[in-house]
Structure 1
Amino acid sequence: MKSRPFSAACLIVLMYGLCAATVAKSADGPAQPETEATAEVNVHPGRQGRAIPQDFLGFSYEAPVLAQDYFDADNEALANLLSNLGTGVLRFGGNSVEFTYWSRNGKISAPKARAILTPQDLDRLFAFSSKTGWRVILGLNLGHYNPQMAADEAAYAVARGGSHLLALEIGNEPDLFMHNGQRPATWGYRDFRREFEAYVQAIRSRSPDAPISGPTACCKAGLEWFPQFLADEGSQLVMANFHNYPMSASRTLSPNSPRYPTIERMLSSELMDGVAKEIRQLADEAHAHHLPLRMAEVNSASSGGKNGVSNVFAAALWGADYAFTLAEQGAAGLNFHGGFWCGGYTPVCISHGTYSAQPLYYGMLLFHAATPGRLVLVRVRSKANVSAYGVLAKDGMLHLALINKDVRQSVRVRISGAGSYSQAHVLRLIAPSLGSQTGITFGGSPVGPTGDWSPTSAEKIERRGRDFLVQLPAASAAVVNFLK
């Protein structure tokens, strides 16, 4: 069955029992923890902040996947998985973009080629983009320096993609070129800027209005380059972009490192505080140049993620918390990096020809259920590891995302400030345990093998005076929807 984007209208129907829904019982959730904490959540619908755009969510892929037929207009399962999340952004780049070449006839000298893209590949991509409404960020090969090849690929993408092409990227993580053999050890920002400008000149000579983004950097040197790059090249850009991985799955990393991936570290407030600080700095610098910031490649741990951390239910809670954190700090969107293999941090995979929503995807699903709209001020008082984010939709519906990252404590949440709303219902994100890879549901339903999903349970929560009360089991999350 073809799925449709989850909407407020569907929620209203579900709330009044017209979708043959049944209210989830507590036995369907995680096992009852030994202790219970409390949380006071004060929401201020009148104090509105940044807007979360409709295309905030996105996926990021390695560029060579474009030479295969995943993004075919007839791929209903993948189209359904995207549709569940609204209309977002597909980004193609990654380290392998530097080994991805372009040729009109498929013939080109291509050292260490991972893929040679042709017009047929971009035709397929933009047909899929047109069908799904998901726009495209397309990476160009800078590692093997060839401005004319990049300009020809860009010209074809601009002509074929039209409004479905959101941006072009020039290279991937150039701040690491001097470490991965792409350039000499002495290569630095001035060298990158010279090459970037040569590419821009070649692209604009063919396509004057080509949308260009940058610097597509990731790391310590990139953070140092970022403000200077925007000062030098900001007028050439339609958006600033950057990458972020708060942990690393590198095999050489010591377990004692603060970046070593564990569930406890992934869900810690210290990790998310560090993310928030970095994103705020990047967003402020981008906004100073009147540019949106898109975190075009992100995930929990670099080097593909860590099994048992990046591919379990804990990653769903982290992913939702991470997306809201980026939105709060000023990012205009993010793209979770992955592929179609099953394992590591990928949000969606294919096993024996069948698509499967991985745990991280469920975190994206929860985020989408509460957006788009404007963030509103929310204050939380609790000793438990709980996050809360409020979003006011255009239709006046108030959404409150609650994420309990505490492994041992359920939390009894008292919500104040929403007294002008007559009732509230909750959609729960639950799983057997933080380490679960299966058995995950949102709104009482798993994502089906053809990518279909719709909620089947939305329980009405207790109102006491002008406050609302909701129980949040340990290691779970929920979206509370308030209706006038």
Structure 2
Amino acid sequence: MPDTDHPPHGTEPGSSSSRPAGKITRLRLIAAIAAVAVIALIAVLLTVSFNPGSNSNQAAGNAEGTAEETPTQPAPTGKAPAVTYYKQTPPPAGSPLEKVDPLELTVKNEPVGTTLDKGTVGISLEATDLADPTLSADNATMVKLLKDSDDTVLRFGGNAVDRRFFWTSSGEALPAGYKGDKAHPARVVTPADLERVATLLNATNAKISLTVDLGHYDPDRAADMIKNASRIFGKRLLSFTVGNEPNGFAYTKLRPATYGSDEYIVELKAYANAIHAAAPDVVISGPGVYDQKWWKPFIDAELPQKKVLSFHNYPLYSCKDTKSEGFPTVPNLLGEGTRQRAAKYQQHALDAAKAAGLETWLAETGMSACPGSNQTTKTHATALWAADYALNAARLGITRLGFHSSMATCKGGPPMSVICSGGAYLKPNGEMAARANYFGMAMVADLAPGKFLNVDKKGGGMGNSYALKNADGSTTVVIVNENDPEKAAQTEVSLKLPGRALRGTMTQLSGPRLNAQDSTVIDGDKNAPVPAAKRPTVPGFSYGSDTQKFKLTAGTVTVLNFSY
């Protein structure tokens, strides 16, 4: 366009024209003002168009729970790329489908203040399992299970540690007083066993936490064990705990009936000081109990390297009262009452630990404290529960939790264990397999690290949802659909995201019925989720939209990832 402060063609500045001089001056002034206004307007438009993030990225300095500013994202103008859509398992043929209220989710750009990290979910084993040759890099099935559970933590403790576990680094025989039975034998553990376990940790990038024997009082023996463990495991050794559930020692006759937290603290200090002298860099976690009253004495005790408050919790606690909400049934397991009760207990531990500047671990957990089989064991419902339980604990702030397990046989072995061995009863062959609850754990273990975000939820029947903001800016949404796939129709989902998604992928855990045993699969197979880069697209994905609508089959754990 012509310069607006120039006269018309044929008229030079300062020359005479047919217009009177006063009018020309006024016209030039008006034209100049108009030019400045247009230039200013263009500058504003250019700033908006080319600097959409000029007021964004303030999240790093925000307080916990406050909204992060989101860059203005223009709608994409290109054509959506060709994709392959995820084919989820449909409801069983002929199912008496019951309608489920639509699920409305809104992911807010509001950090909860907690994070999910690799290694949050792990496996808890008996201390005597350290002597099991199956725990070796030479065992391909064990290596696969640990790799599929992604940078996991193996915790060794359980009832065995204070009853039938004997450590020696000098070749001593098992003392006569250590008793076991055919299903739970007493065992000697040596440095050679730790070196074998270290090969497994190195092969799978796993870490380890140990418990030392307090049942047979011997601080020097415990110090020798942790000294050797520190040398062998190095930085893979996260912590040690003194005794397993010492709050129950009076009941199990490992101590006199008068034994309480005061006596425990005296013994704990002797152990902690002896171990610190032998292995000064190793962290102590504790007290590893199921009684809340024992937390404060541990917190208040003067102990070297005290950095972790650890506790145990089994939400279904009632083994005889069939009418109790704590009795192990599928409705109780997936019930909101059980979820809230567990969350409340965990929050008490978190509050106590935070006030003392300690990290919080749920070192030993499982669905039920009752031994043997019940309505919940080995069922698909346990997979849904494990995923939701782990995610809710992590969202609250629990940084590590271990699902208690066994190396015993699948046939006749503890039915709540996440893993088990092939072979006849009491004759394990070392071919390790996963149970349903393992797959629920694996779905969480596979998630990329991220910050939990607030999610508004409405409808959807039974289930819970979670969201994470990942380091690459993408959003992960996990939907745990606890409706019974044998009865419930697919749920219509409307998901509002904090940005316009250019890509959306999906992986899913599923099963035919809540009470189906050993039938849980991930992406149609008994394996870990499909690698993130190879995952298909969310069915019905709307390219460039911040609202996604799709259907989900009941009885599933669905992980969605959206990039912008």
TM-score normalised to structure 1 length: 0.89
**Contact map agreement 2:383 2:520 (CA 8 A) in 1:** no
2:280 is equivalent to residue 208 of structure 1: yes
2:113 is equivalent to residue 35 of structure 1: no
2:452 is equivalent to residue 375 of structure 1: yes
**Contact map agreement 1:445 1:453 (CA 8 A) in 2:** no
How far apart in 1 are the matches of 2:192 and 2:397? 37
Shift of 1:472: 2.1
Q: When the two structures are aligned, how many residues end up with a matched partner?
A: 460
1:169 corresponds to which residue? Answer: 241
Q: Determine helix, strand or coil for the equivalent of 1:462.
A: coil
2:87 corresponds to which residue? Answer: 24
382, 390, 406: which one aligns with 2:467 = 390
How far apart in 2 are the matches of 1:207 and 1:27? 55
How far apart in 1 are the matches of 2:279 and 2:137? 26
How far apart in 2 are the matches of 1:325 and 1:332? 11
Shift of 1:209: 2.3
334, 352, 355: which one aligns with 1:285 = 352
User: Are the structure 2 counterparts of residues 288 and 312 from structure 1 closer, same or farther at C-alpha, using a change threshold of 3 Å?
Assistant: same
**Contact map agreement 1:443 1:457 (CA 8 A) in 2:** no
User: Are the structure 2 counterparts of residues 390 and 351 from structure 1 closer, same or farther at C-alpha, using a change threshold of 3 Å?
Assistant: same
1:178 corresponds to which residue? Answer: 250
Q: Residue type of the partner of 1:51?
A: T
Q: Determine helix, strand or coil for the equivalent of 1:283.
A: helix
**Contact map agreement 2:106 2:497 (CA 8 A) in 1:** yes
2:432 corresponds to which residue? Answer: 355
Structure 1 residue runs of 5 or longer lacking an equivalent are 1-15
Q: Determine helix, strand or coil for the equivalent of 2:101.
A: strand
1:263 corresponds to which residue? Answer: 330
Q: Determine helix, strand or coil for the equivalent of 1:301.
A: coil
User: Are the structure 2 counterparts of residues 48 and 326 from structure 1 closer, same or farther at C-alpha, using a change threshold of 3 Å?
Assistant: closer
**Contact map agreement 1:370 1:401 (CA 8 A) in 2:** no
2:213 corresponds to which residue? Answer: 141
How far apart in 2 are the matches of 1:160 and 1:289? 31
2:368 corresponds to which residue? Answer: 301
**Contact map agreement 2:364 2:404 (CA 8 A) in 1:** yes
User: Which has more strand, going by share of residues?
Assistant: 1
CA distances 1:186-227 after superposition (whole Å, capped 9, x unpaired) = 111100000101111221222222321110111xxx201212
User: Are the structure 2 counterparts of residues 118 and 225 from structure 1 closer, same or farther at C-alpha, using a change threshold of 3 Å?
Assistant: same
Relative contact order (C-alpha < 8 Å, sep 6+): which is higher? 1
**Contact map agreement 1:248 1:305 (CA 8 A) in 2:** no
2:296 is equivalent to residue 230 of structure 1: no
Q: Determine helix, strand or coil for the equivalent of 1:36.
A: coil
2:531 is equivalent to residue 462 of structure 1: no
**Contact map agreement 2:122 2:401 (CA 8 A) in 1:** yes
Shift of 1:117: 0.9
Measured on the aligned residues, the alpha-carbon RMSD in Å equals 2.4
How far apart in 2 are the matches of 1:327 and 1:119? 34
Shift of 1:110: 4.9
Q: Determine helix, strand or coil for the equivalent of 1:302.
A: coil
Q: Determine helix, strand or coil for the equivalent of 1:37.
A: coil
User: Are the structure 2 counterparts of residues 33 and 476 from structure 1 closer, same or farther at C-alpha, using a change threshold of 3 Å?
Assistant: farther
How far apart in 1 are the matches of 2:536 and 2:373? 33
Q: Determine helix, strand or coil for the equivalent of 1:35.
A: coil
2:370 is equivalent to residue 318 of structure 1: no
User: Are the structure 2 counterparts of residues 32 and 397 from structure 1 closer, same or farther at C-alpha, using a change threshold of 3 Å?
Assistant: farther
Structure of larger gyration radius: 2
Q: Determine helix, strand or coil for the equivalent of 1:371.
A: coil
1:412 corresponds to which residue? Answer: 492
Question: How is 1:43-54 mapped onto 2 (pairs within 5 angstroms)?
Answer: 43-54=107-118
2:126 is equivalent to residue 62 of structure 1: yes
Q: Determine helix, strand or coil for the equivalent of 2:561.
A: strand
Which stretch of the first structure deviates more once superposed, 302-311 or 288-297?
302-311
How far apart in 1 are the matches of 2:473 and 2:120? 20
Question: How is 1:236-247 mapped onto 2 (pairs within 5 angstroms)?
Answer: 236-247=305-316
User: Are the structure 2 counterparts of residues 238 and 338 from structure 1 closer, same or farther at C-alpha, using a change threshold of 3 Å?
Assistant: same
CA distances 1:405-431 after superposition (whole Å, capped 9, x unpaired) = 122433211111344322323222111
Identity of paired residues, percent?
Answer: 27
Q: Determine helix, strand or coil for the equivalent of 2:500.
A: coil
Q: Residue type of the partner of 2:172?
A: G
Shift of 1:383: 6.0
How far apart in 2 are the matches of 1:379 and 1:153? 49
2:131 is equivalent to residue 103 of structure 1: no
2:382 is equivalent to residue 345 of structure 1: no
Structure 2 residue runs of 5 or longer lacking an equivalent are 1-80, 180-185, 424-428
